[in-house]
Amino acid sequence: MKVIYDRETDTLTIIFSDALVAESDEDKPGVILDYDDAGNLVSLEILDASQRVTLPSRIEYQVSPVAA
């Protein structure tokens, strides 16, 4: 997984897979979901990110522990 914030375009992109994008859907205005041929989510793009996300350039990564 890769997270990219482009300050120039104010776009936040989360890439889940290296698969080729076959279809894109603007789920809500400014939120674009990209899918591969099998319908799996490839990436999520947020336009005008600084207006929608608090501190888009600050990324915190956390993995929850696996329950025993």
Report residue 61's pLDDT band, with 50, 70 and 90 as the boundaries: confident
Question: Could you tell me the residue ranges of all domains in the chain?
Answer: 2-52
Q: Is the pLDDT of residue 4 over 80?
A: yes
| Tens digit of each residue's pLDDT (9 = 90 or more) over 7-44 | 999 999 999 999 999 999 998 999 999 999 999 999 99
d(CA 18, CA 4): 14
Q: Is the pLDDT of residue 68 over 80?
A: no
For residue 44, CA distances in Å to 31, 67, 68 come to 7, 28, 31
Q: Give the tokens for residue 47.
A: 């336009």
